[in-house]
Each structure stands twice: as structure tokens, then as C-alpha cells.
Amino acid sequence: MVASSLTLRLVGFGALAAAALWGFETRHQTGAYHWDLPPGFPTPRVPPDNPMSEAKVRLGRYLFYDQRLSVNGAQSCASCHRQELAFTDGRPTAIGATGQAHSRSAMSLVNVAYSSVLTWSDPNLRSLEKQALVPMLSEHPEELGLHRREDSVLAVFRADPIYQGLFPEAFPEAAKDPVTLANVAKALAAFERTIISARSPWDRFHYSGDAGAISDSAKRGEVLYFSDVLAGCYRCHGGFNFSDATDYVGNTRAPVEFHNTGLYNLAGAFSYPSPNLGIYLHTKRPADVGKFKTPTLRNVELTAPYMHDGSIATLEEVVDHYVAGGRTIAGGPLAGAGHDNPHKDPRIGGLHLTAQQREDLLAFLRSLTDGEVIRDARFSSPW
């Protein structure tokens, strides 16, 4: 039984996460909004100036799928965060409304309510409300392309019969004009906080007592995952959300860790290709080149291609990358042995797995796929 091992690995992520193993339910009433949370899931942290409400979530869902929230009138938040792909887009890197290719991949929005930091490499971006403004207003890269076009979009929303009802319901305190860019961001953030994934076979196995929910191979893979001797993946991808960049009500806020996984080791001033230099762009510390956020592994089977730049195509190749302790690129402009990157996280030293153990680890990772979250009507387009 893996329970005792798993419990030990969850202790560092708070008593709630450890208690989750035994199926304790976590349901909370927060203000006017009822969080009907899955077993083992603590209450998401919500900023005081944007309390949750059903009306706000409803408005946010409409806005999330509204293609008028882009310069070309053909893209929305959902264009880069597709429900059937666990709210990613299936591309190596995202494509903006103007056709501009971005340098990083679109991160999953599943369980984003628990993310202690947003995006791949901005240690200062910790608010979903602020993050929602980035794709709308960013010029470098241009995403939805609304910079200097905000007023015209808001005018369209004010004239829309649906929004004429939804905005006042969501923001009754803004009697004069609730249709503002700040309120658009608040509603989007509220909706995104509700996209919670916790119905995978692994969840059913641990939280619902369904002994047959996952295969024997996946059970063996879980032991590997939580073993310091064999794989130790939990050290970065731990806790109920399988990420060390996790926050919630009652959690002691510790500094968020970012990791260089040895994906590159270029010669020259920077070991990672520009502009994807990790948190170095904010800290300017050479040791921070190539350090990125640890994403959740929930639904990882659905979120290919992988890494911050989508440069690894399959989950099998991701496991091979960590087995090798870093990726080696033999030739071309990106040539280098990632294993030898001087700033690589010391926990990534390579793994000694048999072929069967590799397959078991993959089976465990696939057991984290939540088939319900990708079909849940609450998260689909209301248009």
C-alpha cells in the first residue's frame, strides 16, 4: 500500500494536503459564494477586493469565451486555453490575435486558483486579476491586442443585451457604470478560480476508496514518484496539486521556487536561448537563467507539448529528459548537454529506472488525467 509513503511526502505541503489522503472533505462557505470543494482541497485564496459570487463567475465565463475581446474579433481567452486540452492549446508556443508567435507555451488554467505565482517566469505576478490584463493589453508579445482599443470593446459590451444584465448583477456596487476593464479582469479571474480538477482515477483511488480506479502499473509508478531513492518527482511536483508553486487559505506563504531543469546548456553569456531566460529577466542574477515555475502535473497527459517552450513533444520524452538528468542537443544553434548546466537544480541528477519502472511512472502520470474537467458544462462556452 502506497498510503504511508504518500502521506509522508505530503506533510511538507500542509496538514490539509496530508489529511486529504484519508478522504476528509473540505467544504467552505466564503462570503456569498459557496465553495463545494473536492475532498482534500483547501479553500483557494481570494483577494479582498474581488470576493467570489455566482454572478461574477457567470459573467467571467461569458467573457472567457467572447471573441470580441480581441483585436481580430476571432480569438478569446479560450483560444489559448481550450477545455478539451485541460485549458492549454496544444501548440509548442501560443499564437496571438495578430498572428504573432509567442516564445512560451500557454499554461493550463486547471487549478489556477491554487497557483502561488502566475505564468512561467514572472515571480512578481501573483494575482489572477492582474494576470488577466496581460493578454488583453500586452504589446510584447501581442496576445489579444486590445492596447489602446479598450474603450471600443467596452462600448460593444455596454450595448450587448446579455452583458447589460450580467455586469450589474456581478458588480451591483458599481451603479454608474459596471462595464470597466478592471471588472472584466475581476470576472475572468473569478471564473478561472472555479476550474478545479480533482476527479481523476488517482483521486478516485485515494479519496473515494475505488481500489480498481488505477492499474497495478500506476500504483507501482506512484511508489517510484514518491520515492527519494528511485525518482523523487514529488520534491518539485508535490502536494495535492502536484506543484511546489501552490497557495491556499491557511497556507504559510513561503518563497516560490523556480527550477532550471537542464533543458539547455548553450555556450556563451546565457545557457538558455533568449528570450526565454527564466526569472533572470526579473532578478538579473546569472544563477537564475533557465529557472521556471513548476506547473501542476494534473492532466499532464493532455497538455503536450511540454516545457516552457513546448520543445519536448511527448510525455515519454519528458520522462527520458529527467532520467538523463538533463537534455542533450547534439548539434545546431542549441547544442549543449543540459545535464552539465552549472545552474541546474541539484535535485535533477538523473534516474536509474528499468524499462518497466519507466512504464510504471508513465502509467501513474496518466492516472492524473481528469476526464470530467474537460467535459464539465460549467466550464464550457455559454454562447
pLDDT at position 137, please? Answer: 95
> Mean of the pLDDT values across residues 41-59?
96
Kindly indicate the confidence band of residue 32, based on its pLDDT and cuts at 50, 70 and 90. low
Q: HSE, CB side, 13 Å, CA atoms: give it for residue 240.
A: 35
pLDDT at position 2, please? Answer: 42
Kindly indicate the confidence band of residue 261, based on its pLDDT and cuts at 50, 70 and 90. very high
Tens-digit pLDDT profile for residues 158-216: 999 999 999 999 999 987 899 999 999 999 999 999 999 999 999 999 999 999 999 99
Q: 2-16, 26-40, 242-256: which has the minimum mean pLDDT?
A: 2-16
Domains in the chain: boundaries:
54-196+374-379
Q: Which residues of 112-134 are buried (b: 16+ CB within 10 A; e: fewer)?
A: bbbbbbbbbbebeebbbbebbbe
**240-50-172 Cα angle (round to 5):** 140
Decide if pLDDT at 140 tops 80. yes
Task: Tell me what percent of the residues of the chain surpass a pLDDT of 90.
Answer: 86
Kindly indicate the confidence band of residue 358, based on its pLDDT and cuts at 50, 70 and 90. very high
Q: How many CB atoms lie within 10 A of CB 148?
A: 9
Decide if pLDDT at 352 tops 90. yes
Tens-digit pLDDT profile for residues 297-343: 999 999 999 999 999 999 999 999 999 999 999 999 999 999 999 99
**In this structure, are residues 234 and 213 in contact, taking their beta carbons and an 8 Å threshold?**
no
Decide if pLDDT at 31 tops 70. no
Tens-digit pLDDT profile for residues 262-299: 999 999 999 999 999 999 999 999 999 999 999 999 99
**In this structure, are residues 114 and 248 in contact, taking their beta carbons and an 8 Å threshold?**
yes
Distance CA 238, CA 43 (A): 18
Cell of 283: 532578478
How does DSSP classify residue 142? B
Q: Is 35 helix (H, G, I), strand (E, B) or coil?
A: strand
Q: Is 153 helix (H, G, I), strand (E, B) or coil?
A: helix
Q: How many CB atoms lie within 10 A of CB 199?
A: 17
Beta bridge partners of 142: 139
H or E element: which one contains 336? strand 336-337
> Options 1.10.150.120, 1.10.760.10, 3.40.710.10, 3.50.50.60; which CATH number does 54-196+374-379 get?
1.10.760.10
Question: Is the pTM value of this prediction over 0.85?
Answer: yes
Tens-digit pLDDT profile for residues 209-254: 999 999 999 999 999 999 988 999 999 999 999 999 999 999 988 7
Chain-wide mean pLDDT for the chain? 91
